[in-house]
Amino acid sequence: MLKTGDYVVHSMEGVCEVRDVVEMKKGREMVPYYQLCSWPDKRTTVYVPVNQENGRVRLRALLSRDEVRDICLELQESEVEWVSDIGKRQEQMLEILREGNPGRMARMTKMLMIKDLEKPLGSRDKSTLLTAQKVLFSEIAMATGMDFQSVQRAVKQNLKDPSEPLPFV
């Protein structure tokens, strides 16, 4: 069980700090929930059931700096395929967000950022990109001690010019 002050990655909000465990009514019973506060902005509070069985939202431990580096190195070398059918693409991307797998999230973020550099994304893809960036970049920032905006700028610059090294690799 998580404790107050622990940091976790929420599959849709990114890095969050556990503020408390609170009892909330669910149906006819009281159920314990983690009260999470988004990091670093602290403007968003979310509640996630302590019992995560079959939950739509996933909580997981933060990646280490080495794990972040490994994902970024893999990303620099991998090609990501664009799915042209928007319905199928949205379905796949929502599954990736819910699953919370950092490698898949990074590949999806790369794909969306590349497409956005080529031609501005439509509103649904842009919304997915912003969520994916929030999750991925907040974790990279936490693991490396950088701020969110610096991570975002570095990744965007690296996609424009792959010879530009990522400072956290």
Of 57-61, 89-93, 136-140, 152-156, the poorest mean pLDDT is in 57-61
- Containing H/E element for 118? helix 102-118
Phi, psi at 26, each rounded to 5°? -130, 105
Q: What is the pLDDT of residue 114?
A: 92
Q: What is the pLDDT of residue 162?
A: 85
- Band of pLDDT at residue 54, cut at 50, 70 and 90: low
Instruction: Summarize the confidence of residues 38-50 as an average pLDDT.
Output: 90
Question: Any long-range contacts for 116-122 (C-beta under 8 Å, 24+ apart)?
Answer: 117/156, 117/159, 117/160, 122/86
- Containing H/E element for 113? helix 102-118
pLDDT tens by residue, 107-148:
999 999 999 999 999 999 999 999 999 999 999 999 999 999
- Does this model's pTM top 0.85? My answer is yes
Q: How far apart are CA 147 and CA 155, in angstroms?
A: 13
Contact 32, 22 (CB under 8 A): yes
